[in-house]
């Protein structure tokens, strides 16, 4: 099909491995995302707190600087322990939520609006590949503002503190990665499900907020009426905090009595249920052809 010949020729060259083709979606989505200045600004803003946290670690490990700031070393004002990472993780979880609200709604809706889905699925490309490709966009992006900076801060602290700090705190890597992973998965699948359902970005963003905050209100109502604390299972941010605090074996006091009353397994089950529900919605919506019953 050379241009100068203007005739059709079939393709006889090499092909990429089938398993890697989902990443085409991710690559194209990233190219589109980075064309938006607002997105770049938002991404930078989401990473800025981590830079301040790095500064905090630097000061915490620099006695000379503390003296220059007229802080008494025995005050132990700068302390990099579990609580420090809990605060960072919770802060970055909210940053991830904002980023997800901006990026998530357009990922699938753009393909559904003008019926492009049959074009993907008429190729050697499954619905699972499609979801994986879109999920990888959010997975990579949200990782860049959650567990990756947390691990970098952990490494920085390990490097500066020395005296075996890293080995005595190495267990923290597990809650950092695991808690971030469930949070990223919940956010990503939820926003992909919304994106598959709602085509307009502004409406989809609104629906994500509703899906996040309305259950919290309903849970509070349930608690008030039934005199229980189980309603918090509908509060995703609460569940994340609970998982993080339990993961770090630390209590910040934000969670009140519910910290003791709600088992960690229930929190995990609740978040996994959201993921499962989102997958059910995606399965129902991502079809090459819709079947009208009746």
Partner 1 sequence: MTPTIELDGLEVKLGGRTILHGLTGVLKSRAIGLLGPNGAGKSTLINTLLGFHVPSKGSVHVLGLDSHTSGKALRSLVGYMPENDAFIAKMSGVRFVRYMAEISGLPSEQAMERAHEAFVYVGLGEARYRPVGTYSLGMKQLAKLAQAIAHGPKVLVLDEPTNGMDPPARKRLIELIREIREASDICLLLSSHLLRDVEETCDEVLILRNGQIASICNLVEERRANRKFLELETIGAETTFTAALEDIGCECAVFSSGRIKVVMPDSVEIREVFKVAADRGVQIRRMNHRRDSLEDIFLNAMEQSGVADGRL
Q: How many residues bind partner 1 (CB under 8 A)?
A: 42
DSSP 234: G
Sites for partner 1 among residues 81-140 (CB under 8 A): 110-111, 113-116, 118-126
Asked if 63 touches partner 1 (CB under 8 A), the answer is no
Question: Least distance (Å) from partner 1 to the CB of residue 57?
Answer: 40
Q: Which listed range, 22-30, 160-168, 181-189, 258-266, lies at the site for partner 1 (CB under 8 A)? A: 22-30
Question: Least distance (Å) from partner 1 to the CB of residue 291?
Answer: 5
Please tell me the distance from the alpha carbon of residue 9 to that of residue 109, in angstroms, as a whole number. 34
- In sequence order, what are the residues at sequence separation of 6 or more whose Cβ sits closer than 8 angstroms to the Cβ of residue 96? 46, 142, 145, 146, 183, 184, 187
- Specify the residue, 9 or 64, whose C-beta has the smaller distance to partner 1: 9
Asked if 249 touches partner 1 (CB under 8 A), the answer is no
- Give the rounded distance of the alpha carbon of 27 from its chain centre: 18
- Identify whether the C-beta of residue 39 lies closer than 8 Å to the C-beta of residue 144: no
Tokens for 211, please give them.
């899906």
- Specify the residue, 9 or 265, whose C-beta has the smaller distance to partner 1: 9
CA distances to 50, 74, 98, 107, 233 from 45, rounded to whole Å, are 10, 34, 10, 21, 30
Asked if 18 touches partner 1 (CB under 8 A), the answer is yes
Question: Least distance (Å) from partner 1 to the CB of residue 123?
Answer: 5
Residue corresponding to tokens 């709600």: 262
Tokens for 37, please give them.
């200045």
Question: Least distance (Å) from partner 1 to the CB of residue 150?
Answer: 33
Interface residue with partner 1, options 1, 75, 202, 225 (CB under 8 A):
1
- Specify the residue, 169 or 201, whose C-beta has the smaller distance to partner 1: 201
- Specify the residue, 122 or 163, whose C-beta has the smaller distance to partner 1: 122
- Identify whether the C-beta of residue 189 lies closer than 8 Å to the C-beta of residue 82: no
Tokens for 294, please give them.
């009746």
Asked if 16 touches partner 1 (CB under 8 A), the answer is yes
Question: Least distance (Å) from partner 1 to the CB of residue 140?
Answer: 18
Report the alpha-carbon angle 198-203-204, nearest 5.
Answer: 50
Q: Which listed range, 7-15, 75-83, 221-229, 276-284, lies at the site for partner 1 (CB under 8 A)? A: 7-15
Q: At what angle do helices 236-247 and 173-197 cross, to 10 degrees?
A: 160
For the chain, the maximum distance between any two Cα atoms, rounded to a whole number of angstroms, is 81
Asked if 14 touches partner 1 (CB under 8 A), the answer is yes
3-state SS, residue 175: helix
Asked if 288 touches partner 1 (CB under 8 A), the answer is yes
Report the interface residues with partner 1, using CB under 8 A: 1-3, 6-16, 18, 21, 24-25, 28, 32, 110-111, 113-116, 118-126, 287-289, 291-294
């Amino acid at each position: 099909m050379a241009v100068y010949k203007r005739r059709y020729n079939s393709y006889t060259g090499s092909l990429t491995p089938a398993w890697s083709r989902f990443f085409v979606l991710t690559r194209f989505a990233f190219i589109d995302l980075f064309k938006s200045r607002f997105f770049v600004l938002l991404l930078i803003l989401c990473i800025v707190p981590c830079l301040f946290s790095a500064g905090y670690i630097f000061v915490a490990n620099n006695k000379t600087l503390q003296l220059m700031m007229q802080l008494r070393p025995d005050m132990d004002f700068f302390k990099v322990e579990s609580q420090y990472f809990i605060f960072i993780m919770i802060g970055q979880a909210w940053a991830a939520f904002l980023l997800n609200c901006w990026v998530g709604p357009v990922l699938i809706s753009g393909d559904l609006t003008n019926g492009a889905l049959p074009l993907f699925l008429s190729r050697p490309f499954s619905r699972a590949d499609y979801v994986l490709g879109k999920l990888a966009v959010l997975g990579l992006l949200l990782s860049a503002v959650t567990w990756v900076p947390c691990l970098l801060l952990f490494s920085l602290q390990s490097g500066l503190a020395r005296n075996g700090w890293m080995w005595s705190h190495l267990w923290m890597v597990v809650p950092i990665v695991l808690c971030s992973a469930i949070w990223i998965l919940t956010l990503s699948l939820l926003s992909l499900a919304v994106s598959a359902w709602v085509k307009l970005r502004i409406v989809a963003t609104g629906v994500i907020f509703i899906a996040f905050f309305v259950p919290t209100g309903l849970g509070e109502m349930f608690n008030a009426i039934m005199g229980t604390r189980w309603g918090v299972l509908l509060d995703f941010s609460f569940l994340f905090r609970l998982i993080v605090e339990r993961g770090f074996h630390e209590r910040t006091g934000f969670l009140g009595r519910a910290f003791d009353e709600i088992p960690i397994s229930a929190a995990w089950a609740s978040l996994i249920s959201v993921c499962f529900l989102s997958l059910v919605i995606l399965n129902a919506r991502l079809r090459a052809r819709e079947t009208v019953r009746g």
